[in-house]
A and B are shown apart, each in its own frame.
Chain A
Amino acid sequence: MLTKNAAGVKARKRLCMTVNGRAVEIEIDIRESLLDVLRDRLQFTGVKQGCSVGECGACTVLLDGTPVNSCIYLATWAHGKAVVTIEGLAQDGKLTPVQEAFVDEGAIQCGFCTPGVVLSTTAMVDSGKCFTHDEVRRELSGHLCRCTGYQKIVDAAERALREADIAADEHPV
């Protein structure tokens, strides 16, 4: 493996972050994106690569709770931060309400956009805010899906938001 970059300069660095709640410490090449590190080094292959230039949203992960395109986010920038990938949502095999809504509503076809859309929807639900139909469509517009025409994705997101809303009403914090 290369330890020097194209200019012949040592290009390695230690990166500490948490991924799905577990501390990770790893030596990386500074040219690597967060996507490269998550997929190639840590085997979080649920993070998908559809374009590598920040256009499709397939590589979305949550970084301190906020969705980011990991393909255009250098891994070194994640130092000290908390990363959540699709693998980090379900606990002990139990799907989250967002994941359940996606399965039940038929919002998944090929599934390649799914991890990203599910994480963005999770961030919307976790924000505790209310979203109108148009806002939901806008929030998700950074995710390209070629299979579904978005209808069932929007349905699933709205259902997850609705259910979270009801749950919040029932158990006010």
Chain B
Amino acid sequence: MIGASSIRKEGRAKVLGTAIYTDDKFMPGALHGLTVRSEVPRGILRAIHFGEGIPWEEFTCVTAEDIPGTNLVASVVDDQPFLIGIGEEITHSQQAVLLLAHPDKFLVEKARRAVRLEIEELPAVLDIQSSLDLQPLIYGTNNLLKEIRIAKGDPDPIWAQAAHVIEGEYRTGAQEQMYIEPNAMLSVVEPRDGLLQVTVWGSLQCPYYVHGALRQLFGLPEKQVRVVAMEMGGAFGGKEDYPSVNGGHAALLAWKSGKPVRLIYDREEDLACTTKRHPSRTRLRTAFDAEGNLLALEADFILDGGAYATLSPVVLSRGAVHAASVYRCPHVRIHARAVATNTPPPGAFRGFGAPQSLFAMERHMDVCARKLGLDAVELRRKNFLHMGDTMATGQVIREDLDLAGLMDQALAAIGYRDKRAAFALTNPGDGPIKRGVGFSVFMHGCGFTGNGESHVASVAGVEGLADGTVAVLAASTEMGQGKNTVFAQIVAEALQLPVELVDTAPVDTDHVPNSGPTVASRSTMMVGRILEDAAIGFKLALVQQGFLVEPYTPESFQAAVVKAVATLGTLRCYGQYHRPPNIQWDDVTYQGDAYPTYSWACYAAEVAVDLDTFEVKVADFVAVQEVGRVVNPTLAAGQIEGGVAQGIGWGLWEEVTMQRGRMINNQMTNYIIPTSVDLPRIQVVFLENAHAGGPGGAKGIGELPMDGPAPAVVNALENALGALRLDEVPMTPDRLLERCEEVSHG
């Protein structure tokens, strides 16, 4: 079962149109909810005026004053209010101030436009540099949401001695997740047995995050809050932390109105106000000896964290740990900061900080190769990490790592040498099309950074059902990545059953334990491993209690489960995460095993640039990765292909344009994601290498493909166009034209 391309469990329902997404849930009499937001980036809310011509008495209106519990969204740091009250400070342009609900969706939209907010504007911080300069101070004592330092050796004495010191600055823009299903919530709040019962059905990645947020918002015990994850139309991190906000809003409206409430964002609202990838600025300083060996590395890594901390501390942490990338370096200093600005808070997006710092490092390696007069392939080959080397956090590589082999395979597959030689001959010609080929080598840490897994202490289980089949009990959600199928395969393998006999239980906090958030490429490796334990425990229990005799057939197993359920009632077995003894991490010094293991990859891209329009076409793309054992090759390839598409989009086209702290291209017409005609066929290669961590040796896979495409594509642009200041993504036609003009104007 592990290693087979089992058919997607919920594929049939999705292709029949019977899969139920949040807005599809039948709920007669539901009101339509809407959110009224501030439109200025910073100020004090003085008054809310309800305009004329609207039957306000028919509306349910919720303001900060109505909140029954705590007006703070439960997160890493509880600093973000659900709603801003009169006299309080508005800190970004999409801040929710008032919630409205009415049975008529046309009228509720009209009502939103009739509300006028009286706001006393204050000067705002809208970019990283103003935040660092405290112009003005807007958050805490220093505008920092989080600061991290990682040190290994001492780079200071090296700069003067080294043969070469090369510096560079790199920037990456915000990126929208652009799941095709916008954020959606449905809530009912009603008394049951004399107690208030809050229920939210939603498009959400982390049911227990929303559960915690609702408990705090209403001041209710665990049992009185229920969160159900519906079928989800994509997420990519975009439904990791934000659902705590809109889930709370929907529940507030349902509670005040006493009716079911739908809170479905339209695309423009979703783009303008929900989380994005953090914009970044990275300054790198590297020292090399005369042969090109890396001696020292200093990274100043900054993320624009927006108005509240949200997930910035953890995004920063992953970005910081990945800043030194796949290279051996004796002296490293990483200074990472997430700064506050008066913009809607960014959050999780596939890659979670790593794509930003890896873009910088992989671009920088090509720049260094050029400045050192070395080949970009050979410079990397000299400096790769190997078994026994230590990374920036002091983590020792314990696996037999062959990055050079990985790189050579990717380069051979794309025909790197031949293409370089051919383009060197054709590019100097007069034609407007210039071609180039480039690559990146990178890693992605699997699971949470540092002690994250120990803090969450995930629980997952299996349950025997009356018909003799087995259900997987976990709060991990299906967002299209294939969790339903992969979990079933893992449990089926552990129980030696056909995969048809195992399915996942609906993700409902009343029914499934907290297996942790569905993030960080952790579900297969971390939760899968717990499920393996739970399944084996389940089987042993059946044997010990005399229901099952080994060896067994699927039929006798099924019969045993039927009998056991009939005799005992419920039949469940749970497993829990235990930290492997050889994994150590210190949250204060940032030293130790930042991740239990890493996935490794080399991506190579061929581009064609049209110098008449500055449009870039990606003509060929190869993705070679080592992700341990592949549980389901078709689903895994789908993850890589989709991630590469998003990575290419981030590298070339996907630009969030901000004006006064507000996204102004908040439509699918002017925020451009790749379509079927914009992408080449992506060659996906998996190099297997069994690792002890995950089930059957699986590692994380979901985020890895986001890290490599942008630097590979931009490195290819340098090959096509020569030495330009290619230091930023997205490298849109405008930006590319500007960079070319810099050179021609000297």
Contacts and interface: CB of A to CB of B under 8 A. Distances in A.
A110 B16 contact: no
Contacts of A65: none
B383 interface: no
B134 interface: no
Main DSSP-derived SS at the A contact region: loop
Interface footprint category on B? 35 or more
Contact of B479 (A110, A115, A137): A110
Contact of B16 (A90, A138, A146): A90
Contact of B181 (A39, A43, A110, A149): A110
Interface string A75-111: 0000000000111011000010001001110101111
Contact of B233 (A1, A48, A134, A141): A48
A111 B14 contact: yes
B667 interface: yes
Contact of A53 (B21, B669, B676): B669
B668 A103 contact: no
B677 interface: yes
A134 to B, nearest CB: 8
Contacts of A47: 17
Contact of B17 (A29, A115, A141): A115
B645 interface: yes
Contacts of A1: 103-104
B7 A53 contact: no
Interface string B212-238: 000000000000000000011111100
Contact of A45 (B24, B266, B667, B674): B24
A173 interface: no
A108 B14 CA distance: 8
B5 interface: yes
A53 B668 contact: yes
B476 interface: no
A53 B480 CA distance: 24
Contact of B668 (A29, A51, A114): A51
Contacts of A106: 5, 8, 634-635, 637-638
A145 interface: yes
B663 to A, nearest CB: 15
A12 interface: no
Contacts of A104: 7
A10 to B, nearest CB: 15
A143 B180 CA distance: 10
- Give the one of A85, A90, A153 with max B CB within 10 A: A90
Nearest to B7: A103
A110 B180 contact: yes
B189 interface: no
B515 interface: no
B15 A114 contact: yes
Given A109-B638, A149-B679, A152-B638, A103 B11 contact: yes
A120 to B, nearest CB: 11
B675 A144 contact: yes
Most chain B C-beta atoms within 10 Å of own C-beta, residue among A95, A137, A146: A146
Interface in A127-173: 134, 137-138, 140-154
A112 to B, nearest CB: 3
Counting from the closest, the 5 A-B pairs by CB-CB distance are A46-B17, A110-B480, A112-B233, A111-B14, A86-B17
Given A108-B11, A111-B233, 8 more contacts: A6-B106, A43-B26, A85-B17, A86-B16, A111-B231, A141-B676, A144-B178, A150-B645
6 contacts: A48-B181, A55-B267, A55-B667, A56-B267, A109-B638, A111-B480
Interface of B: 5, 7-8, 10-12, 14-21, 23-24, 26, 103-104, 106-107, 110, 177-182, 231-236, 266-267, 479-482, 634-635, 637-638, 641-646, 667-669, 673-677, 679, 681-682
